[in-house]
Homo-oligomer: A and B are copies of this chain.
Amino acid sequence: MTKSFVYTASIQDYLKHIYLLLERGEAVTTTALAQRLKVRPASVTGMLRRLARSEPPLIVYQKHRGVMLTEAGKRAALEVIRHHRLIETWLVQSLGYSWDEVHEEACRLEHVISEQLEARLASLLGNPAYDPHGDPIPDQDLNLPPDTTLPLASLRPGQQGRICRVQSEQKELLRYLEQKGLRPGVSLVVVDYSPFDGNLTILPQSPDASPFVIGLAVSLKVFVEVLP
């Protein structure tokens, strides 16, 4: 079946980042990939050629135009992403890691766990649909739930939302949010909005919380479901 893991860790990383860029609607440019992968653009071009020429092809690549994942490429990407997010979930739920500590560890382990371990891990954790950051975990067949979230930055005074996801691997940001009580599952109300700077004043819906202000740098990375 899924003859997935003939791929090197490096190839898996390229595919993963291509997928993540596509998912966020960002342009999959050579430079964007180079930045994320911490290599030079020339290296990216080289790898894109190889991914496009591999058998089966993992991407469709038109020079200077852009990159799309083929079915095989998408599958391989989702495989790694499933591994990554399951591992993160495991580290938090079973081993007592905090959500800012799990990323690097998952980045190394994601390439070496077997499909059997993946399956057992998923079942041990109760087949979770989301990881500790609220990132959706592709299911066994690599399907993802529909995404109905919006950036917190798009809410306006009076609107209520429930935090679903924090899209960042920055340890400091994660620790800051943790400390402010802003984690997936928490509801909040927007009580004020400053135009020009985009600051939001928010009030988490917990007994002992008081309102505070967050800037765009934060509110663009926190994703919420709007509550009626």
Contact = CB atoms under 8 A, between A and B. Distances in A.
A109 B94 CA distance: 17
Nearest to A109: B112
3 tightest CB-CB pairs across the interface, nearest first? A95-B120, A108-B112, A112-B112
Interface in A80-97: 91, 94-97
Contact of A109 (B101, B113, B120): B113
A226 interface: no
Q: How large is the interface on A (under 10, 10 to 19, 20 to 34, 35 or more residues)?
A: 10 to 19
A169 interface: no
A124 interface: yes
A112 B111 CA distance: 10
A147 B120 CA distance: 34
Interface of A: 91, 94-97, 101, 104-105, 108-109, 111-114, 116-117, 120-121, 124
12 contacts: A91-B117, A94-B94, A94-B124, A95-B121, A97-B120, A104-B114, A105-B113, A105-B114, A105-B117, A108-B112, A108-B113, A112-B112
A117 B97 CA distance: 9
A6 to B, nearest CB: 15
Nearest to A107: B112
Nearest to A124: B95
A105 B105 CA distance: 17
B120 A96 contact: yes
A117 B116 CA distance: 20
A160 to B, nearest CB: 37
A96 B113 CA distance: 16
A109 B106 CA distance: 12
A127 B224 CA distance: 41
Contacts of A96: 120
A105 B113 CA distance: 7
Contacts of A105: 113-114, 116-117
Nearest to A112: B108
Nearest to A114: B105
A26 B27 CA distance: 59
A109 to B, nearest CB: 6
